[in-house]
């Protein structure tokens, strides 16, 4: 049960009832000041990345979940101020029964509410089969396949829309989990890759305006702004290494506040001191960025085509 206002700690900035203790700084924040700080950090990240939204059209990856809904709403707020910002929300239906239907409805509802153009596509439309079919019999690969093909789908639509940048809703927790997963997998290339590197002229750049903001603050911001209600969780969520990375980091962050930030910053420093990795080459099949001759998406789809041909 929420505490009555008189029993709550006071906001460190204005003295009214606080809704959140920011453990890293030791400050209590009221709803208004928490929302203000979340918005300010997203704007600063965009500015730090050199993304001048006023000059760019942005494709916003919108799953219908909390992070992407918050991202869309934040960018919409900035768009209203700059006026000439061109936003299009892009939703990819991976084809996950019992989970996607509700988030797709939520994505359609928020774009209609904000009056933002909305493109939808699906794995079935682009790659021939829904994710549920693509991973039949090897469900433990669901998240890695899903991530690779979703990136590909977003790139296809962003190009069709003439977008200069794809914005995704990754938050600080996601970024720290990725760093830990790269360590756990011994993925030297990803550990040394500059995460702030943007694609060159030929590819659509990517940006993550929420990457400095903890998941908890993104969720609270969404509640304060009345942006979403609880959503079902993806049934494949527990097959991913990410789930274990999340549990480990949450436990460490609880005992040592600031661990997530230090982890992400440490990786960036590592990437800075490492030699500049060679720029990505192009996939021989589809022309997208690839570290080898063929990109990951084309390799996955080749396997799918082979398995589909052998199906009775």
Residue ranges binding ligand SF4 (CB under 6 A): 94, 142-143, 146-147, 234, 236-237, 240
SS3 content of the chain, % helix, strand, coil (to 5): 55, 10, 35
Q: Which does 13 bind (CB under 5 to 8 A by kind): ligand SF4, Zn ion, none?
A: Zn ion
What are the phi and psi torsion angles at 166 (to 5°)? -105, 120
Can residue 27 be called a binding residue for Zn ion (CB under 5 A)? no
Residue with tokens 């480990």: 248
Q: How many residues bind Zn ion (CB under 5 A)?
A: 5
Q: Which does 30 bind (CB under 5 to 8 A by kind): ligand SF4, Zn ion, none?
A: Zn ion
Please identify which residue in 17, 19, 20, 30 interacts with Zn ion, judged by CB under 5 A.
Answer: 30
Please identify which residue in 13, 141, 197, 268 interacts with Zn ion, judged by CB under 5 A.
Answer: 13
For Zn ion, which stretch binds (CB under 5 A), given 24-32, 96-104, 138-146, 186-194? 24-32
Instruction: Kindly tell me which of 85 and 178 has the beta carbon lying closer to ligand SF4.
Output: 178
- Quick one: angle between helices 142-160 and 296-310, nearest 10? 110
For Zn ion, which stretch binds (CB under 5 A), given 29-37, 154-162, 226-234, 264-272? 29-37
C-alpha separations of 106 from 66, 100, 229 in Å: 10, 10, 9
Instruction: Kindly tell me which of 11 and 90 has the beta carbon lying closer to Zn ion.
Output: 11
Instruction: Kindly tell me which of 17 and 135 has the beta carbon lying closer to Zn ion.
Output: 17
The three-class DSSP label of residue 86 is strand
Residue 16 has which token pair?
């009214």
Q: Which does 237 bind (CB under 5 to 8 A by kind): Zn ion, ligand SF4, none?
A: ligand SF4
Instruction: Kindly tell me which of 8 and 159 has the beta carbon lying closer to Zn ion.
Output: 8
C-alpha separations of 73 from 110, 113, 221, 227 in Å: 8, 10, 11, 8
DSSP 57-122: EEEEE--SSHHHHHHHHHHHHHHHHHS--EEEEEEEE---TTTHHHHHHHHHHHHHHHT-EEEEEE
First-residue to last-residue Cα distance in the chain: 56
Q: Residue 282 CB, nearest distance to ligand SF4 (Å)?
A: 25
Q: Which does 146 bind (CB under 5 to 8 A by kind): ligand SF4, Zn ion, none?
A: ligand SF4
Q: Which contiguous run of DSSP H or E holds residue 157?
A: helix 142-160
Instruction: Kindly tell me which of 185 and 237 has the beta carbon lying closer to ligand SF4.
Output: 237
CA distance 60 to 212: 18
Residue 44 has which token pair?
């600063």
Q: Which does 236 bind (CB under 5 to 8 A by kind): Zn ion, ligand SF4, none?
A: ligand SF4
Instruction: Kindly tell me which of 104 and 240 has the beta carbon lying closer to ligand SF4.
Output: 240
Residues 6+ apart with CB under 8 A from 276: 194
Q: Residue 281 CB, nearest distance to ligand SF4 (Å)?
A: 26
Q: Residue 241 CB, nearest distance to ligand SF4 (Å)?
A: 11
Strand partners, 195: none
Can residue 33 be called a binding residue for Zn ion (CB under 5 A)? yes
Binding site for Zn ion (CB under 5 A): 11, 13-14, 30, 33
């Amino acid at each position: 049960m929420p505490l009555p206002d008189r029993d709550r700690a006071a906001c460190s900035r204005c003295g009214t009832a606080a809704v959140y203790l920011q453990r890293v700084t030791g400050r209590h924040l009221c709803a208004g000041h928490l929302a203000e700080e979340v918005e300010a950090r997203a704007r600063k990240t965009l500015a730090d990345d050199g993304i001048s939204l006023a000059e760019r059209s942005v494709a916003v990856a919108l799953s219908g979940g909390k992070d992407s809904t918050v991202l869309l709403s934040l960018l919409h707020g900035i768009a209203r101020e700059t006026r000439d910002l061109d936003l299009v929300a892009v939703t990819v239906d991976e084809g996950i029964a019992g989970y996607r239907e509700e988030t797709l409805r939520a994505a359609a509802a928020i774009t209609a509410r904000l009056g933002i153009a909305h493109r939808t596509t699906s794995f079935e439309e682009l790659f021939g089969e829904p994710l549920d079919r693509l991973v039949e019999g090897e469900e433990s690969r669901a998240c890695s396949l899903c991530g690779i093909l979703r990136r590909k789908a977003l790139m296809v639509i962003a190009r069709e829309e003439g977008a200069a940048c794809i914005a995704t809703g990754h938050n600080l927790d996601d970024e720290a989990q990725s760093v830990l997963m790269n360590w756990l997998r011994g993925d030297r290339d990803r550990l040394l890759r500059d995460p702030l590197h943007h694609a060159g002229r030929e590819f659509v750049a990517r940006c993550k305006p929420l990457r400095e903001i903890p998941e908890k603050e993104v969720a609270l911001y969404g509640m304060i702004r009345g942006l979403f209600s609880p959503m079902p969780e993806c049934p494949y969520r527990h097959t991913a290494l990410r789930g274990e990375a999340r549990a480990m980091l949450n436990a460490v962050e609880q005992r040592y506040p600031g661990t997530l930030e230090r982890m992400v910053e440490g990786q960036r420093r590592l990437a800075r001191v490492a030699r500049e990795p060679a720029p990505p080459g192009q996939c021989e099949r589809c022309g997208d960025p690839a570290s080898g001759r063929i990109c990951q998406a084309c390799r996955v789809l080749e396997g799918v085509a082979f398995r589909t041909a052998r199906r009775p």
